Every structure is written in structure tokens, then in C-alpha cells.
Amino acid sequence: MTTPTLARGVSASSAEAAKAGTRSRQRHVSALLAVLIMAFGGGRLCAADTAPVCTLLGDLTTATISLVTLLDANDVNRFSALGFTGLTVDACPAVYTTTATFNNKDGSVVLSRTSTTLSPGHFGADLPTFAPGGSPSVTPSAPKTDETVTLTFQTSKCPTTVLGDCKVTWGDGSEEYVPCPDGSPTQVTHVYGTATVAAPYNVIVRVYIQGDSDAADVASTPVTVIGTGTPVLDPSSFRITPLLLPVGGSVSAAATATDPGSDLKELVINWGDGTNTSYPCTASPKSTCSLPATASHVYSVTGVFAPTATPADAAGTPASPVPLPAGFVVVYDPQGGFVVGGAWITSPPGALASDTAQTLTGMANFGFNSKYKAGASAPTGNTEFVFSAGGFRFRSTSYDWMVISGSRVQFKGSGIVNSQPSPVYKFSIMAEDGGSTPGSDRFRLRVFSLAADGTTEIKVYDNFVGGAASACASLSDPSCDFRAATTALGGGSIVIQKSPSGRRMV
């Protein structure tokens, strides 16, 4: 059986659907004309035609046929017109009644004949069709790839009609023939594979009579396939600028995600300060999505923030948040106070990376001060740290930033180890001013180098030994237990100087 196929997104045309309804009436008119022609001595409709019908101009629904020329056996025009009237079609099985009248050129009636034809389960009203309420439908109508969909439909036919197969075209390039149902609904299942492009499709069902290559009826129903491939955000595309800014300043963001399911819905930026912004994906196709040029955020509080970007698709496929490769956004108050500390801690075993046995412990002394000068974007100050038992001495060479949050402070910069000019290491200090309560001041020093990728931290010293080199690296990290990450002072104190307004910086 050979029938036309339709491309994805194309529904069954009204012309194709109407074809089944008109085909039966054409056949009946043709058969009646052939009978009438034989009654007139073998005449035919056109000299060059072998088919019984030469020209059919009119509305086949009412069977009013005009401008049909009848030629005699010698191809001489003997009659002016042939008119058809009164076509009636009874219900299943179809019975056709048609009256045909021949007129002479002078208008006189030559012959009027009525024909009644009983269709043998092949024409007209007895053609199978979709039953009332049985038109094709697909559930779910918006399936995910790899999800099974169910097509349901039901046909209706006369008892004398012998059904062939029904052809189902799924719209994704696949099709199949299934037995046409009669009297009860039938269900056919299909899976749109992971390679299916997420898009709208039309599922088309064609009903056939046994031995007939023309569809007796055709209908379609829409289905929208949603991809389920996990969306991926390229870490190298995730940028926020600037990374260091005064409180109240604005940053801009850029990021690009891709989705094998081609149904990206949005990119969500968690700015790290408790706020999230969702940016809808509007480009088509939705296999790639980028933040708009207007993506920005205002930081209204000081802090060290760790933004993340997360792509999401329409199918709800979970995607992991991607951290900012640059690490942190630092928001400082250039009008803030200053910090100073002079004390000692007991350096715990495992703090010094060069200690192969990871057993060295003992007193470690430190002193530091840090403050912002008017109009400066980086603080000034000095930091010294000495762990004699481990032969480890660190001295700062520059500061990058400082953030005061309540009774806690964090600042970051660069420095050298054991007075060697190279290499230059990065460092970060977290500290807490516990006020007048003895033993409540706390301290943490991280000294580390960067791997060749420029982001992976390699531990040199860290008195928090409960995690990786970058663990609990920010005051704003909600997963960080500050007290667990810092060490209580064995002696001395840390002071966070109040701002000029008399308030601690928040």
C-alpha cells in the first residue's frame, strides 16, 4: 500500500480528508453515465477519452453536473447537455439514487432515467470514518523524550465494509500500520527517543478499506515533545564584573548554557547574598541560552559572596549549580573601621601541609592590622604569622580586600613564606572579635598557592583541618560553621574598630 507522507509539523489537509467523501459520488456518476452511453449505441463523452467521465463541473455534494458533452459513435455532437438532479445517499450501506436527463439541442427531453445503486461496502456513506468522540488523541500531549505516549482513536463502519489497516504517522519520521478498530477504541503506544528534537509534531491517522490505496478518512492531533537531556552551563562562560566593589555598587553577569533536549527555559543566578534572578530563554532554537546584556545586580550589604549559575529546562531536568570560576564577589565599605590583632593559637596537627606525618602541633603567634584609606579600593596593613615548631613563617606583601560583618572580619591578599621572595602565595584571614568575653575571639589563617588552572587551591597552611583547601572560604558561605572553621585564641585579642558613626560595620 503506497500513500503520501507528511513532513513533521504538517497536518492532514482538508483536501485529503474531503477526498474520501467525494470519491464515492464520482464513481456513482461515472457508472450511471456509462449505462446511459451504452443505451445510445456506444456513444462516449469525449472523442479522446477512454474514461467514462470527461468533464465534471459542479458540486458533487448535490450532484448537479453541467457542461457535459455527449458524442455519438461518429464523434458528432448530438446532444447539448446532460443534467443530474436528485442525488440522495441513504445510510449504511449506502444507496445512491440519481436521475439523469438528456436534452436535444432544441431543449426537448430525449431521455430521463433514474438509477439506484447499492454500494457494496465501498463507497459513500458506508466509507469507514472516525466514530463520534473517537478522533485521534495523544496522552500526554506534552511528553518528555523517552516517555511513552498513548494514541487513542475509534473508527465506525458499515457491517459490509472490510477494513484494512490504519496508518499512524508519528511526526518524528516513524510510522506504522495497526489494525483499524471497529466498535471500540484502540490504543497505540510510541516513544519519542532522546535524539528527537524537542518541537511540536502532528500525529496523523489514516483509515483504509481492505485493498484500497486511498485513505477513507484521515485526522491528526498535535503533540509537543519536551527534551530531557540535562542542560549544561559552560563554567568558562560564567563571569561577573567587577569582582571587587564598594557597597551599593552594581555588577554585570555573563553565562551561556546548552541543552541536548533543546528546551532551555531559564538561567538562574544566585548572587550569593540571598537573592536570585531568573532570566528566561527566549532565543530559538532553545538548545543554547545566554544571559542578556542587561543581567546585573546591586549589592546593598558588605560581604564576601559566592554566586552560582544554574540552567533549567522545560522538562524540569535537574542541573547542578555552577560556581563562579573567579571565586567570590567582595563588597566592602570604604568608610568602615579597621581591625587589629595580636595573639597566639595552638596550631593543630595537620595544619602544615609540608608536615608529612601531619602530627606537628604547638604555639603559633600572629599579628595583623588592616584598614581602608579614604578613596582607596584596597586596604592597607600588615600580617605576620609564625609557627616555630613547623619552621613556618608567613608575612603579607599586599592586601586585596577587607570586609567587616558585625563582629567578624575577613581580608585577603598575597605574601611570602620563610622570607623567600618567590613564589608569592595567596592568603585569607577570618577573625572574630568576641568583645569582653574571655576566650571568645577566634582566628583562621589560610595560605595557599594556585594550580596551573588558576583556580584550584593547593594548601600550604590552614589551621582549619576539617576540609579541603578552599573549604569554608567565605564569611557568606551558608554551609560554613564559622566556629568550627576557626580556632579560639590561647592568648591576646582581636579588635574590630567601630566605624566613625559609632556602629560596627554590617
pLDDT at 73 over 80: no
Query: What pLDDT score does 59 carry?
Result: 31
Q: Which helix (H) or strand (E) holds 270?
A: strand 264-270
Domain containing 260: what range?
Answer: 232-331
pLDDT at 17 over 70: no
Pick the residue with more confidence: 229 or 87? 229
The answer to whether 137 and 221 are in contact (CB under 8 A) is: yes
476-493 average pLDDT score: 82
Supply the pTM of this predicted model: 0.47
Cell of 124: 459513500
Q: Name the pLDDT band for 24 (thresholds 50, 70, 90).
A: very low
User: CA 39, CA 111: separation in Å to the nearest integer?
Assistant: 10
Residues, the chain:
506
Which of 331, 325, 266 lies closest to 300, judged by CA? 331
Cell of 60: 458533487
The answer to whether 121 and 158 are in contact (CB under 8 A) is: yes
176-195 average pLDDT score: 85
Most confident of the following: 59-68, 73-82, 372-381: 372-381
CATH of the domain at 256: 2.60.40.10
Whether 355 and 467 share a structural domain: yes
Query: What pLDDT score does 502 carry?
Result: 37
105-125 average pLDDT score: 54
Is 1 inside a domain boundary? Answer: no
Whether 367 and 439 share a structural domain: yes
Is 485 inside a domain boundary? Answer: yes
Number of helices (H), then strands (E), belonging to the chain: the values are: 2, 39
Out of 125, 141, 176, pick the residue that ends a domain. 125
Looking at 126-135, 198-207, 482-491, which range is the least confident one?
126-135
Whether 279 and 163 share a structural domain: no
Whether 197 and 266 share a structural domain: no
Is 5 inside a domain boundary? Answer: no
Q: Average pLDDT over the chain, rounded to whole?
A: 76
Query: What pLDDT score does 116 carry?
Result: 56
Whether 67 and 190 share a structural domain: no
Whether 475 and 373 share a structural domain: yes
Name the β-bridge partners of 186.
153
The answer to whether 408 and 486 are in contact (CB under 8 A) is: no
Q: Which helix (H) or strand (E) holds 200?
A: strand 200-209
φ/ψ of 393, rounded to 5, equals -135, 130
Whether 341 and 462 share a structural domain: yes
